[in-house]
Structure 1
Amino acid sequence: MSVDFSTIVSAAPFLLTGLWFTIQITLVGVGGGIVLGSLLAVARLSRNRFISGLATAYVNVMRSIPLILVIFWIFFLVPWAIGWLVNGGRPVAVGATLTIFITFILFEAAYYAEIVRAGFRSISTGQYEACEALGLPKFHAYVYILFPQAIRNVLPILLTQTIILCQDTSPVYVISATDLLGAASKIAQRDGRLVEMYLTVGVVYFLFSYTASQFVKSLQSRLAYGGR
């Protein structure tokens, strides 16, 4: 079997479209995941056992289920559930893109929640006591004082999870979404160029992951020396 890498040039526009969608998934997953994950982290630290229990159950369930299964659940079950509630039992079209965005926000939030919770726990109790002594509302205390410190303490871990998230985008092709791997798979099957396409995808993921991991290492060194 001959290997023809010139096919990568002709396939580049389609691959770039898939790469852009992969970037979109990563950005949405990170942004929504950190926001929802932070709320879950605060809920887990709550003194209210009911709220803490619900948040803990959500985190444990999501972290115990494969991502691809969550994708299938939302893609196939959510349209039926919404249809049953608002459309007389007829499924509502959700679409692959919206399914993927919702899935990654809900799924990644469970992982970001544990990271942010670790950040909150790394803050000295004196900070919490100072907020109470000043009479700050909890919302203001968390948003303006505690949350920035927590994020700084766990920033390298957050970035590492973001690298993992980007790598985890690859299963979305199972619902015919055209991410980087999905684009490469379609071209590979159409032109019979599996080796070239999958090798290209592997190189792209490697370059991103390696570059990002080196940045994380550099950031860890800077934080270890007080941000100098």
Structure 2
Amino acid sequence: MFDTSYFFSSFSFIIIGIPLTLSIALIAFLMGGLIGFVIAIIRINQFKYFHGLCIAYVSFIRGTPLVIQLFLIYYGLPILLKLAGFGNLISEIHPIYFVYFTFSINAGAYLSETLRSAILSVHKGQNEAAYVIGLSKTQTMLSVILPQAMRVALPNLGNQFIVLLKETSLAFLVSVPEIMGQAKILAGRTSQFFEVYIAAAILYWCLCLLIERILRYGEKKLSAHI
């Protein structure tokens, strides 16, 4: 039988994981955005040597599951630190930092493709016009190209953030107590898995609905200024 009272009471415990869930998603999205922008610029300009490395990086990240990437970082990075002579630091590294790192490099690969296609969608005449009035390449990118590219990229960026938010549920696999981690702890104590996981699903759903509203508001504001 479905225990309604336990279902509602479980929210007070699971909700503790919301700040950690949001921090993983936000940090990974911001760092991934920075990584993605750098990769997009390298690929657009086809910088020698780095261009091929960026293609390989994007291909590997997009071609392998995030859960495998998380395990490779969580179990593999300590081995590399030991080989480099920093074995004493391993015990001091909290699992959340492995999660931040993994999710950031994962988001970077996907965001690079979104940003690259958005930048390329801006007509080349915009570059030429900017150079004519004396703007440098950096000024042109920051003042002319990026604002127009962001207008194109914003819907896809929003969707990717929502996907990233849901993927944070994998962090519990390395003992990070975000929403899913809290739900797993609670369900393990009481064996009332159904009620707990429904409560967790509702929390994820509510967060996604809230983010969708914020993104729609941001898109309208951006459209009004471009």
Tell me whether 1:166 sits opposite 2:137 in the alignment: no
- Find out whether 1:64 has 2:68 as its counterpart: no
Structure with more helix by fraction: 2
Quote the offset at 1:62 in angstroms: 0.7
User: Which residues in structure 2 correspond to 1:10-159 (within 5 Å)?
Assistant: 10-87=9-86, 92-93=90-91, 94-159=93-158
Paired with 2:211 and 2:113, the residues of 1 have a C-alpha distance of 21
Task: Spell out, residue by residue over 1:192-214, the C-alpha distance to the aligned partner (whole angstroms, 9 max, x if none).
Answer: 21011001111122233345446
Structure 2 CA distance for aligned equivalents of residues 112 and 157 of structure 1: 9
Q: Unaligned regions of 5+ residues in structure 1, if any?
A: none
**Cα distance in 1, alignment partners of residues 149 and 107 from structure 2:** 18
Q: Which moved more, 1:142-151 or 1:156-165?
A: 142-151
Distance 1:136 1:50, change over 3 A: farther
Which deviates the most, 149-158 or 49-58? 49-58
Shift of 1:37: 0.8
Structure 2 unaligned spans of 5+: none
User: TM-score with structure 2 length normalisation?
Assistant: 0.88
For each residue in 1:42-93, what CA deviation from the matched residue of structure 2 results, as whole angstroms up to 9, or x when unmatched? 1110132422222111111111110001110111111121222242x66723
Which SS does the other structure have where 2:131 is aligned? helix
Root mean square deviation of aligned Cα? 2.5
Q: By how many angstroms is 1:135 displaced?
A: 4.5
Aligned length: 224
1:140 offset after TM fit, Å? 2.9
2:204 equivalent in structure 1: 205
Local SS of the residue matching 1:156: helix
2:3 & 2:171 partners in 1: Cα distance?
Answer: 27
Q: Give the partner amino acid of 2:184.
A: S
TM-score (norm 1): 0.87
